[in-house]
Amino acid sequence: QVKPQFESRENRTCEMFDAVKYRTQVVAGTNYFIKVQVSDDSYVHLRVFQALPHENQHPSLVSYQTGKTRDDPLTYF
């Protein structure tokens, strides 16, 4: 659901967009830290916020980091 948000911010289209790992952090909702493979050897880290169910909001892309590798640790950013 956040792929269009990422592509819009990066002004590019990703043919590959596969989540390979994620972590969560519970706040007033949930932060998801997701490692996404965008090409054979290129990864991005996404921070996605999902509000509590009663707020009826879609997941939103809060922040991201590009230039990551498969081995880069997925940490808070």
- Name the pTM for this structure: 0.90
Mean pLDDT within 54-64: 94
* Better-predicted residue by pLDDT, 36 or 76: 36
Can you give the pLDDT at residue 67? 94
Q: Are 23 and 66 in contact (CB under 8 A)?
A: no
Mean pLDDT within 39-52: 95
Q: Can you give the residue range of the structural domain that contains 58?
A: 1-68
Q: Is residue 73 part of a domain?
A: no
Based on the structure, what is the number of domains in the chain? 1
Partnered with residue 2 across adjacent β-strands are none
